[in-house]
Amino acid sequence: MSKEKMIFLSLFAFVSLFCGLLLYLSIPALSILGISCLNELNVQSVNCVSIVVPFTVILICAVGMVLVMLVV
């Protein structure tokens, strides 16, 4: 029982670390997303980035947690 909990905690830590790393790596890409949104939607890049990036990160984290639950 404790072994399964350790495996689950290690997978949870890995997914959390992956989400944090993804968020850290997406910071330089904010300008690219902002420029593309600015060209396509004709809105301020700050507003577009504040909408696109958090939903993308939350979606990827949710998918990762579902995969962890399926594995465990």
- Which of 22-26, 44-48, 64-68 has the weakest average pLDDT? 44-48
Residue 16, domain extent? 3-71
CA trace torsion 18, 19, 24, 27 (10° rounding)? 130
Instruction: Give pTM, 2 decimals.
Output: 0.40
Q: Rounded to whole angstroms, how far apart are CA atoms 42 and 61?
A: 29
Domain total in the chain: 1
Q: What pLDDT is recorded for position 33?
A: 57
For residue range 38-54, list pLDDT tens digits in order.
555 555 555 566 666 77
Q: What is the 3-state secondary structure (H, E, C) of 31-62?
A: HHHHHHHHHHHCCCHHHHHHHHHHHHHHHHHH
